[in-house]
Amino acid sequence: METLKNKIVMITGASKGLGKALALEFASKGAHLAICARHEEELLKVKEEAHAFGIKVLAVTADVAESRDVERFTALAEDYFGRIDVLINNASILGPGPIPNLLDYPEEDYVQVLRVNAVSPFLVTKRVLPGMLQRNNGSIINVTSEAGHTGYAGWGAYGISKFALEGMTETWADEVSGTRVRINTVDPGEMNTGMHELAVPHCDYELADPKDTVPVFVYLASDASQFVNGRRFEAQNFKEEEVL
């Protein structure tokens, strides 16, 4: 998709799973990347793979649940690229696994899951959004889950954090309505990732490859979606021609 060429795409949690698949897909389409994750070695491997597509990559080891890391990452990205066109809030954690029922959920783990999954997208968006509003252009994509749309026993703080993320997305989308900045959520569905293995050990049904869920992200990052705001998409059921 030509409209992605030279766009600046920021992805949190880009060292593995969906984040890695997104980084490599956008790189293959000519977008430049600002990526972060907590694990440096895995992140640098993604950087090396993305470089093979001939694009620029800024890779920063950072924990986006920490406001100082958010400031450092975004400041470095803005200094290096001059702007951020697309932000994908992908970083998240599952919490203790197997996931305990809420009655047995440790308080410190509950708080940490909400901080990473719900507070960090707030922190990164709050830092990136002013530049997008100033340029009157930009796309923010928050990665959610079916567990953030329907409450399921046994999904604990993870599901609750995604409910919070979806509510925040709707609120922020309403606040930026009337501008050319849009904020949407994507539920990638169940995927063959390390996080899913922790959540559902010994899974006995077929899971999607993270690479197969990226088309909706590409669409939401492209100019084709410039008037799409406040929507929730299911990646595994996405068909661009059906978007109204």
Provide the Cα torsion 134, 139, 145, 148; round to 10°: 30
- Do 13 and 37 form a contact (C-beta atoms < 8 A)? yes
158 catalytically annotated? yes
Report pLDDT for 201: 58
Upstream peptide bond of 188 is cis (omega within 30 degrees of 0): no
Report pLDDT for 1: 43
> Average pLDDT per run of 10 along the chain, which is 244 residues long?
84 95 96 97 97 97 96 98 98 89 95 96 98 98 88 87 96 97 92 52 60 93 95 88 68
Report pLDDT for 203: 52
User: Measured between alpha carbons, how far is 160 from 46 in angstroms, rounded to an integer?
Assistant: 30
Is the domain spanning 2-227 CATH 3.40.50.720? The answer is: yes
- Do 76 and 51 form a contact (C-beta atoms < 8 A)? no
- Do 20 and 33 form a contact (C-beta atoms < 8 A)? no
Domain map (residue ranges) of the chain? 2-227
Q: Which of 80, 105, 152, 158 is catalytic?
A: 158
User: Measured between alpha carbons, how far is 121 from 88 in angstroms, rounded to an integer?
Assistant: 9
Provide the Cα torsion 124, 190, 167, 215; round to 10°: 60
